[in-house]
Amino acid sequence: MLRRVWKLLLVCILCTSCDYFSSQKSTANSNIQLLPTVVDYTTVTKYPLFPDCTDGAEDDNRKECFETSIAQKLSELLSKHELRVDREVNDKISIDILIDLTNRASLVRVNSSKTISKELPNLEALIRESISELPIIESARKNGIPVKSQYRMEIIIEML
């Protein structure tokens, strides 16, 4: 008797299709498009923006305004400091600046020659201080999403 019950139960399970347990997709959801979720963050669609660059700043103009503004503002801030050297210095350094999601700029790295490091040992601290004094910069955007961005600049140092 127990054997017949098990056979009947097995037949019932086999006859029942899995289709009865799956949910039906509604036709309203059939128009959903999946967008790619991989975003290339090595490039930006909109460059960072200083407050004085907002006049019609689009794409190439925005990039040019950013590069010009940051160079001008850093030059003004660094020129406030009096630097003295023992011998002539004619060299360049490169600096990496990070603009984060809070719209602040910070110094990441300074690459300089041994001559500059010896003659101007406090130059990195002055650059760091000058970058921290920059006004708030609207962060770069990638497909409308604010992203962190890092930029390399060269500073030419000519001192007699």
Buried b (16+ CB within 10 A) or exposed e, 49-73: bbeebeeebeeeebbebbeebbeeb
Tokens describing residue 93: 């350094």
DSSP H/E element including 15: helix 2-15
Per-position pLDDT tens, the chain of length 160: 777 777 776 676 766 655 555 555 544 444 555 545 555 656 788 888 888 887 655 666 888 888 888 889 988 888 888 888 888 888 889 999 999 999 999 999 999 999 888 888 898 999 999 999 999 999 998 888 899 999 999 988 888 7
Residue 13: both structure tokens together: 């399970």
Residue whose C-alpha is closest to residue 94's, from 105, 80, 108: 108
Inter-residue contact 152 to 94 (CB < 8 Å): yes
Pick from 71, 128, 80: which is nearest to 105 by CA? 128
Q: Cβ(60)–Cβ(100) under 8 Å? A: no
User: What whole-number distance in Å separates Cα of residue 154 and Cα of residue 143?
Assistant: 28
Q: Supply 55's token pair.
A: 């006049």
